Structure 1
Amino acid sequence: MHILGIMTGSKSPRPRFWDRYRSAAQQENFDDIIVFTPSSVNLSKQCIQGFVRNSSGWEKTECPLPSIVHDIGYYSNRATIRKVKQIKANPSIPFVGYALGNKWRIHKQLLNTSIRPFLLPTKLAKTTDDIFQMVRRYRTVMIKPLNGKGGKGIIKFSEQPDKSCFFQPSGEPGYSFKRSEAAARLEALLAKRRYLIQQWIDIRDEHERTNDVRILLQKNGLGKWIISAQAIRHGKDGEITSNLKSGGTAEPLEEGLAKRFNDEDQKAILKQVERLSRRLPKVLERVYGKRFCELGVDLAIDRKQRVWLIEVNIKPGKSVLQLFGPEAMDAGFRAPIQYARHLLEKNKIKT
């Protein structure tokens, strides 16, 4: 029997969400699906406790290890992260795709590749001096948590001509501080989490809204990378990010570009986006020596129409697929499951 596992951080049933994966698994001829958390995996006994679907709903039960697993979970607890690493290092549990690591690791992996021209100047924030050095060079920077997601925890930071500092966390208004107070705030931040510093580039439109581009890349049933969605996201007024969970909106990429650029500039931008989208997954798999099944790629288009890589997400949200209708949404959920079936059929389940 071929059993598909869905590993998640959610301990309580999420029927509608899980049913999407179950439907996709049925379409790909999996015999069953089991949803489980990392803590429910018993590596010594080679079994898991998870949820399976029956006539009355999702019921918890114990099962042997699944044939292959799609990991959709977000994990912040250190003990859970250690357990996830143990599970993924165990050859008895093959995964559809593996992890990229934090933002700094991804940046370092791409520095010596053909992707380098698309990378923004970036530095690890070990001390407040690192931040002020970047600010002196670029005047305005973005300070990002190494393991952040959804735009949370990002700070726009700049030094003004009068030597005061402007400090704006994501989702909040900006504040001006004396340099000494700003340094104290930054020091407190670095004591709690690890951050990187990235040059800020002006990606605001004529309405002063922050914009970026989300590209959803997925492997299909033939093991080939495809572009499943391309959208431009508009941030809420006054917001420093354009994340949809922070109140942003989105529209198909070509429609959004047509509102801001002439035909010639649109073509040049789309050419850059396509070149980066086609090249990036293959480069990542080569430098990491691992397989991936889907990537959420965030790009920026500056006021000179140059495209920059902001970040890469290994577990991208699929909300942008709603722009293209229910069939696109269903296809987006099905793609990783099609790739899982491909791996089993081609006996490519080793990392």
Structure 2
Amino acid sequence: MGQPVLGILTLYLNDRGLMEEKPIYARMTEAGKSLGLEIFVFTPADVNFETNRIHAHQYDPTAKSWSRRWRSFPHMIYDRCRIQKSHRFAQLGQFRRKYGHLTFLNRVLRNKYTVYKTLGREERFRPHLPLTRLYENQSDLAELIRKYPLIYLKPINGTGGRGILRIEREQTGTFLIQGRDQSRRIISPRRVGLTGLHGRLAKWNLKENRYLVQQGIQLKLPNGRVHDYRMLVQKNRGGEWEVTGCAGRIGASGSITSNLHGGGQAAKMRTLLGDWIRNEDTVTSVVRKAEEFGVDVAAYLEKSYGRLCELALDLAIDRKGQIWLLEVNPKPSREVFIQAGERETYRRAIVRPLEYAVWLYEQKQKRKTGAETANMRHEPD
């Protein structure tokens, strides 16, 4: 059958060749070797579009070192490219258009609002979706701030908690604004009236920067820090969706988000949920329902957008045990599990996409062999 080859597609973070997640790719290469899967890493900048050759990055687990080598295209591509505002991201679009016919483990997911609307078409998902609007003018903000005491403003394609604002309506009629700027720096809280609110937000250019207005869920712990849960759903070695793990995230002091890159910390889901709900039976029920929900969402989004191999779901769980889907991340990191002390979950999170890649390769080979056999039967003697 031959050895399957997986190419991990990523982006340089700058023009000097800095690569994100390189230590993870080294671990994947080691894990792939034990599965009989060869792995190399590349970016669109490493592809010769005329010869269809790749100047690949290869990791040697024995020497524990990286080297470069020209390679043919792999059997499968694992797209780990995250959104950037750079010429490198434009080059990625060119790559996807030219080579979109190849076998990808995961296709591109749409922006947050499109995913929200896609899930909203299914009645079973609607109770789990905070009301969300695309910001077009002040009335979109005014509508939600009248309806809910807490709302969030989020960039439609933002990541890592960048540029998020939290607006809470207080009993005095004033509004408390908190947030993070595009560099993840915490913005000092401000109290303003309704007129001052719109004036304060004007400099954010919400329409031009394509912001969402979203119903907020009260998630502050007794110590004042916000929390949520990161659930990783992945395809397993049989090509089926399965929850790999779920960990709690607790935001830094003064932060409106729980992102680890913004100074947050991780915790075991059951421990954090137990402190929050304080009823063991309810906790057990919520964990089970959350896992069923995660698999259901992943399967539906794959049906809607094409093949996927993993998704991270950012979940909020209120005091009543209601599960809310805050966001879907198609290029999830795995570090939350290490920080929560769940080493086996972290290991599975690295290995599962590789096991799925082997399964996918074997399925393609079986179909190819079956087609060749069928053709031979129909050939005249």
CA-CA distance at 1:302 after TM superposition: 1.4
Q: What is the CA–CA distance in structure 1 between the aligned matches of 2:269 and 2:9, rounded to whole Å? A: 32
Structure 2 counterpart of 1:131: 141
Q: What is the CA–CA distance in structure 1 between the aligned matches of 2:250 and 2:291, rounded to whole Å? A: 20
CA-CA distance at 1:110 after TM superposition: 0.4
Structure 2 counterpart of 1:229: 245
Structure 1 counterpart of 2:190: 175
CA-CA distance at 1:335 after TM superposition: 0.8
Q: Could you tell which deviates more after superposition, 187-196 or 19-28? A: 187-196
1:107 aligned counterpart, secondary structure: helix
Q: 2:102 aligned to 93, 109, 127, which one?
A: 93
Q: Is 2:18 aligned against 1:12?
A: yes
CA-CA distance at 1:187 after TM superposition: 2.9
User: What runs of 5+ residues in structure 1 fail to find an aligned partner?
Assistant: none
* Paired residues for 1:190-269 under 5 Å: 190=206, 192-260=208-276, 261-269=278-286
Q: Is the 8 A contact 1:168 1:174 kept in 2?
A: yes
| Residues 313-350 of structure 1, C-alpha deviations (whole Å, 9 max, x = no match) | 10111012213544432221111111111111101899
CA-CA distance at 1:245 after TM superposition: 1.5
Q: What is the CA–CA distance in structure 2 between the aligned matches of 1:303 and 1:19, rounded to whole Å? A: 41
* RMSD after superposition: 2.4
Amino acid at match of 1:16: P
Structure 2 counterpart of 1:344: 361
Q: What is the CA–CA distance in structure 1 between the aligned matches of 2:120 and 2:161, rounded to whole Å? A: 23
Q: What is the CA–CA distance in structure 2 between the aligned matches of 1:179 and 1:64, rounded to whole Å? A: 60
1:24 aligned counterpart, secondary structure: helix
CA-CA distance at 1:5 after TM superposition: 0.8
Q: Is 2:205 aligned against 1:187?
A: no
Q: What is the CA–CA distance in structure 1 between the aligned matches of 2:127 and 2:172, rounded to whole Å? A: 34
Q: Is the 8 A contact 2:11 2:88 kept in 1?
A: no
Q: What is the CA–CA distance in structure 2 between the aligned matches of 1:168 and 1:134, rounded to whole Å? A: 17
Structure 1 counterpart of 2:176: 166
In 2 relative to 1, CA 52–276 (structure 1 residues): closer, same or farther, beyond 3 Å? Answer: same
> Relative contact order, CA 8 A, sep 6+: which one is greater?
1
1:174 aligned counterpart, secondary structure: strand
Q: Is the 8 A contact 2:151 2:216 kept in 1?
A: yes
In 2 relative to 1, CA 100–349 (structure 1 residues): closer, same or farther, beyond 3 Å? Answer: farther
Q: Is 2:107 aligned against 1:107?
A: no
Q: What is the CA–CA distance in structure 2 between the aligned matches of 1:56 and 1:111, rounded to whole Å? A: 47
Q: Is 2:82 aligned against 1:74?
A: yes
Q: Is the 8 A contact 2:83 2:157 kept in 1?
A: no
CA-CA distance at 1:255 after TM superposition: 1.9
| Residues 209-228 of structure 1, C-alpha deviations (whole Å, 9 max, x = no match) | 21111111111111111211
Q: Could you tell which deviates more after superposition, 256-265 or 138-147? A: 256-265
Q: Is the 8 A contact 2:104 2:307 kept in 1?
A: no
Structure 1 counterpart of 2:347: 330
| Residues 227-269 of structure 1, C-alpha deviations (whole Å, 9 max, x = no match) | 1111122222222111112222222211222223212322332
Structure 2 counterpart of 1:2: 4
CA-CA distance at 1:19 after TM superposition: 1.2
Q: 1:285 aligned to 282, 287, 302, which one?
A: 302
CA-CA distance at 1:167 after TM superposition: 1.6
Structure 1 counterpart of 2:370: none
Structure 2 counterpart of 1:154: 164
Larger Rg: 2
Q: 2:65 aligned to 36, 57, 60, which one?
A: 57
Q: Is the 8 A contact 2:266 2:337 kept in 1?
A: no
Q: Is the 8 A contact 1:235 1:243 kept in 2?
A: yes
Q: Could you tell which deviates more after superposition, 275-284 or 292-301? A: 275-284
Q: What is the CA–CA distance in structure 2 between the aligned matches of 1:38 and 1:309, rounded to whole Å? A: 33
| Residues 49-99 of structure 1, C-alpha deviations (whole Å, 9 max, x = no match) | 221235583223322212111122223135433433343342453211112
Q: Is the 8 A contact 2:137 2:207 kept in 1?
A: no
1:346 aligned counterpart, secondary structure: helix
Amino acid at match of 1:314: P
Q: What is the CA–CA distance in structure 2 between the aligned matches of 1:20 and 1:178, rounded to whole Å? A: 52
Give the percent of matched residue pairs that are identical in Structure 1 and Structure 2: 29
CA-CA distance at 1:298 after TM superposition: 0.9
Q: Is the 8 A contact 1:127 1:187 kept in 2?
A: no
| Residues 12-33 of structure 1, C-alpha deviations (whole Å, 9 max, x = no match) | 3665333112112212212x32
Q: 1:36 aligned to 17, 42, 48, which one?
A: 42
Amino acid at match of 2:327: E
| Residues 96-138 of structure 1, C-alpha deviations (whole Å, 9 max, x = no match) | 1112111101101101112122111110012233112211221
Q: What is the CA–CA distance in structure 1 between the aligned matches of 2:365 and 2:163, rounded to whole Å? A: 38
Q: What is the CA–CA distance in structure 2 between the aligned matches of 1:205 and 1:231, rounded to whole Å? A: 16
